[in-house]
Amino acid sequence: MAISALQKERAAYAPKLPKSLQGASVKLVTGAATQSVADQAEIKKLFPHTYGMPILSFEEGAPACGCSCATEKPAINVGVILSGGQAPGGHNVISGIFDGLKKLNPANKLYGFLGGPGGLVDHQYIELTAAIIDEYRNTGGFDIIGSGRTKLEETAQFDKGVEICNALNIKALVIIGGDDSNTNACVLAEYYLEKNTGIQVIGCPKTIDGDLKNEMIETSFGFDTACKVYSEVIGNIMRDANSAKKYWHFIKLMGRSASHIGLECALQTQPNICIISEEVEAKKQTLKEVVNSIADVVAARGNNGENFGVALIPEGLIEFIPEMKVLISELNDLLAHETDVQKALKGLTPASAAVYNSLPDAIARQLTLDRDPHGNVQVSLIETEKLLIEMVGKELAARKSAGSYKGKFSGLAHFFGYEGRCAAPSNFDADYCYSLGFNAAQLIGAGKTGYMSSIRNTTAPANEWIAGGVPVTMMMNMEKRHGHMKPVIQKALVTLTGKPYTFFASKREEWATKTCYVYPGPIQYWGPSSVCDQTTKTLQLEQK
C-alpha cells in the first residue's frame, strides 16, 4: 500500500512515556478513597462494587504486592473498543495498550472489536498482531478496527460480551470513548463484577470536543490535534481576509455541545468574534441579541473602513439559545404526533412561533424537515453559520437605512469538523495517547476495573507526567436523560469563571475592533520544541 513520505517518517516516531512507566517494573501507589462529584448516595447505591475506590498512581520502582510485574503475571488476552466520533491518536492508544501488554508478558494478546461497541455484541473482532499495530503507529483515524455509536446499555448486550470474552479468553476490555461511553464502561465494569465474570473494564478519555475533563483527567485526547488543525486553517483564512479585505468569514467549529474547540481556536488565532455557547445560555441571550452583538462588531469595523473579519461559531450554539431550545423542544413534541408540518406549526406557543417566523426559510425548513430516526430535529445539521450570515446581513441593511452603518458586508460560510478528527496526531497527542494506552495495560496488569486511564501534569515534559487510574464513579452525578434520572459522567462545558474563558473575555474587545490575527501554521512534528511540543492554550491557562 502506498503511504506518504510523512507517514513513512512518522511511523518511526517513538512516543514518549512518563518516567514511571518506562522502567522494567512499576510500583502501584494507592491513594485515598473517592466519592462521586455529586449525588453520592444514589451513585453509591447504583455502583455498590465500584463506588468509592481509591485514586491510583504508578511510580518507578520495585512492585509492591498487587502490582504489575512481567515475571509473575500469567498471560492474558485483552479486547479493545473504539467508541463514538474519531479523534486523532486513537491508534496510539491501541499501540500503547499492545506494547504495555507485551511488556507485562510477551504472550499477552490484544483483540480489537470491529465497528465500535457493536463489535462486542455481534462478536466481530480481529486479533491485533504486531504487524497490524506497526502499520498504524502515529497515524490518525480509527480505521484499524473502526468505531461506532452503539450504546452498551442493556444487560443482554453485556451478556453477549461475556460470551465472546469467554470464547477468546479475554480477561479485560478497554473502552476508548467520550463521557457517555465511559459511563457505560463503568456500568459494564459494575455488572461484570456483580456477575463475577472475571472481566475487567478500563476506560480511556477520547473526544475532540474536549468536554471529558476534570481534576483527574486534564484533557481528552484528540482535542489538541483537532484544534491545531482548525487553527491552522482559521489562520490561513485570516490572512486571506486581511489580504483581500472584502469578506467576513463565519466559521462553524465542531463540538456537539461544549464550546471548548471554538474557545481554544480563538486563543490560538485571535479572531474578531468568537461566540461561546455557554455564555449565551448564562446570559439568556435571544437569537436576535446574538445577531446584534455580531452586527455591532461588523458595523464598528465597517465604519472604520475594515469590511472584513473572522467570526468563530460553535456547532452547538443553537441549543444554548434558550428560546431556540424551547422552539426545538416544542417542534420535537408537535412533529412526533403530526406529520403535516403546517398543522404542527399551528401548535407552537406564540413566543416560539415568533422565533420560528424570524428564521430564514432554509433554516426553518431544516428545523421541520430534517429529523433523526427518533423524529427529533437534527440540530448538528443546522447551518448556524449561514443562519447568522443571513440575519446579520439583514440587521446591517436596516442599520444602513437608518444611517448608523456605512460599510459593506459580504459573508462566507465554512464548517470545520471532520477535517480535524483524523489528522496525524500532534506530538502531544501521539505521546499522550500512547501513554494512556500503555497505562491502561498497567491498570489491567494490576487487576483493576471500573477505572479510567489517567495521565496528569500534561503541561510538563512527558517524562514528568503522572500515570495512574481514576475511578469512573468519582466523575459521576445524576442527570435527566430521556425523561429519567441516570448516573452519568458530568460533562465539562466551558466554565465562565475558568482561566481560558476569562482570558479570552479580557481580550475580545481589542480583537474585535483591531486586527490582531495570529497565524499558527500547520502542525510541526520535527523542529524546535517550542513549536512541536506546545500543548493547547486551554491547558496552559488551566494549569498555570
**Phi, psi (rounded to 5 degrees) for 112:** -115, 125
Tell me the C-alpha to C-alpha distance, in Å, between residue 158 and each of 279, 322, 383: 40, 38, 38
Which spans in 338-408 are helix H? 341-345, 350-358, 361-369, 384-402
| Choice between 257 and 459, CB closer to ligand FBP | 257
Identity of the residue numbered 243: S
By the 8 A CB rule, do 540 and 219 touch?
no
Catalytic residue among 179, 180, 209, 211: 209
By the 8 A CB rule, do 95 and 82 touch?
no
The SS3 call for residue 521 is coil
| Choice between 257 and 307, CB closer to ligand FBP | 257
Least separation in angstroms between residue 85's CB and ligand FBP is 3
Least separation in angstroms between residue 88's CB and ligand FBP is 11
* Residues recorded for the chain: 544
Least separation in angstroms between residue 257's CB and ligand FBP is 8
Q: What angle do CA 67, 72, 74 make, to 5 degrees?
A: 105
Helix (H) or strand (E) holding 432: helix 427-445
| Choice between 309 and 314, CB closer to ligand FBP | 314
- What are the residues binding ligand FBP (CB under 6 A)? 84-85, 87, 178, 207-209, 254-256, 315, 380, 421
| Choice between 240 and 479, CB closer to ligand FBP | 479
Beta-carbon contacts of 52 under 8 Å, excluding residues fewer than 6 positions away, are 33, 34, 35, 44, 471, 473
What is the distance in angstroms between the CA of the first residue and the CA of the last residue of the chain? 45
The SS3 call for residue 395 is helix
Cell of 507: 481580550
Sign of CA dihedral 262, 268, 274, 278: positive
What span, in angstroms and rounded, lies between the C-alpha atoms of 521 and 103? 38
By the 8 A CB rule, do 438 and 96 touch?
yes
Name the nearest CA neighbour of 255 among 404, 421, 90, 120.
Answer: 421
Least separation in angstroms between residue 83's CB and ligand FBP is 7
Least separation in angstroms between residue 223's CB and ligand FBP is 10
Beta-carbon contacts of 521 under 8 Å, excluding residues fewer than 6 positions away, are 232, 235
* 309-314 β-sheet, strand order: 273-274, 309-314, 248-253, 411-416
Identity of the residue numbered 414: H
Least separation in angstroms between residue 254's CB and ligand FBP is 4
What span, in angstroms and rounded, lies between the C-alpha atoms of 454 and 474? 13
Beta-carbon contacts of 463 under 8 Å, excluding residues fewer than 6 positions away, are 16, 18, 19
Name the nearest CA neighbour of 309 among 390, 407, 384, 411.
Answer: 411
Least separation in angstroms between residue 503's CB and ligand FBP is 23
Least separation in angstroms between residue 500's CB and ligand FBP is 18
**321 alpha-carbon distance from chain centroid:** 21
Q: Is 209 a catalytic residue?
A: yes
| Choice between 99 and 385, CB closer to ligand FBP | 385
Least separation in angstroms between residue 421's CB and ligand FBP is 6
- The catalytic residue positions are 209
